[in-house]
């Protein structure tokens, strides 16, 4: 057994909450900090299946990437899916913690993990950081990945490769089943922008920083048209696949920190989207 507060403190050191976007809802969202827990489960999103798995296995804490609740709730009733899930979790004594955009931007967060998966060199933040995070970055050796905090990532491939090859390699690294791309598949790319999840809004930053391609989870149709018009390739891996792998890795990290606690990534979670053969 270990206190919930102890795990929350460890999570806050992995993904400092000061890195979260102003609109986000991060930290301990449900639960009693003084509670003792023996089981922790990570997931990308809290869904009814995830709730059932947590309750069945008597989980004390769910570490979800996407917050629940995300927006303020005027009432918690079974009239909504979110309300019903929260009622079940609270009744079973299951806490919920989310770092969300703080984990996206952390030095060992999702976008940094992508940079490492793709073996990018000269890695920087995609969006320039300011304040405390910038001071820390500037004070460290620029070649050290551990010094990088901020929104998104950009870096260079050791050798240029085709857009098709890059997207295929990225998809294979996380098991993505239906990757898509925007642009000439045979075009050679070398400077890569990264923005996990729904990252189409970072297209202008990728253009400004001179990226050949932006790898993300999903983007709107109009963002794809804009990328095509700007001559920037895009790789769309799927929102789920662009982030879920990092929650599996986070479970392993937490298990190494707290060997006395049973920690695993949800076995019931899945991508809600599937491709049809036509």
CATH topology of domain 2-102: 3.40.1390
Kindly tell me the burial class for residue 232, based on how many C-beta atoms sit within 10 Å of its own C-beta (0-12, 13-18, 19 or more).
buried
pLDDT of residue 140: 43
- 1: CB partners within 8 A, 6+ apart: 36, 37, 38, 260
Q: How do 36-37 and 2-3 pair as beta strands? A: antiparallel
pLDDT of residue 145: 43
pLDDT of residue 276: 87
pLDDT tens column, 125-175: 999 755 444 434 443 443 444 468 999 999 999 999 999 999 999 999 999
Question: The pTM is what?
Answer: 0.91
Read off the pLDDT of each residue in 236-244 and give the average, rounded to a whole number. 98
Residue located via tokens 């057994």: 1
Report d(CA 227, CA 213) in Å as an integer. 9
- Sign of the torsion angle spanned by Cα atoms 208, 214, 218, 221: positive
pLDDT tens column, 85-121: 999 999 999 999 999 999 999 999 999 999 999 999 9
Q: What is the residue-averaged pLDDT of the chain? A: 93
Residue located via tokens 């990088």: 148
CATH topology of domain 107-239: 3.40.1390
Residue boundaries of the structural domains of the chain = 2-102, 107-239
pLDDT of residue 275: 85
- Do domains 2-102 and 107-239 share one topology? The answer is yes
């Amino acid at each position: 057994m270990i206190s919930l507060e102890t795990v929350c403190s460890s999570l806050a050191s992995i993904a400092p909450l000061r890195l979260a976007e102003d609109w986000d809802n991060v930290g301990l969202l449900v639960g009693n900090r003084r509670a003792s827990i023996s089981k922790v489960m990570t997931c990308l999103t809290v869904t009814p299946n995830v709730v059932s798995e947590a309750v069945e296995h008597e989980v004390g804490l769910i570490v979800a990437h996407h917050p629940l609740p995300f927006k303020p709730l005027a009432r918690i009733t079974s009239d909504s899916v979110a309300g019903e899930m929260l009622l079940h979790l609270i009744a079973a004594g299951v806490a919920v913690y989310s770092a969300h955009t703080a984990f996206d931007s952390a030095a060992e967060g999702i976008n940094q993990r992508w940079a490492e998966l793709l073996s990018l060199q000269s890695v920087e933040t995609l969006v320039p950081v300011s304040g405390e995070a910038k001071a820390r970055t500037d004070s460290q050796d620029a070649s050290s990945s551990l010094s990088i905090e901020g929104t998104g990532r950009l870096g260079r491939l050791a050798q240029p490769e085709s857009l098709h090859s890059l997207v295929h390699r990225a998809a294979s690294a996380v098991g993505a089943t239906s990757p898509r791309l925007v642009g000439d598949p045979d075009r050679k790319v070398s400077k890569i922008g990264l923005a996990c999840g729904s990252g189409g809004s970072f297209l202008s930053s990728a253009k400004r920083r001179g990226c050949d391609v932006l790898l993300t989870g999903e983007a709107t149709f109009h963002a794809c048209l804009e990328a095509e018009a700007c001559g920037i390739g895009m790789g769309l891996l799927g929102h789920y696949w662009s982030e879920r792998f990092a929650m599996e890795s986070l479970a392993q990290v937490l298990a190494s920190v707290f060997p006395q606690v049973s920690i695993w990534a949800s076995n019931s979670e899945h991508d809600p989207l599937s491709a049809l053969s036509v």
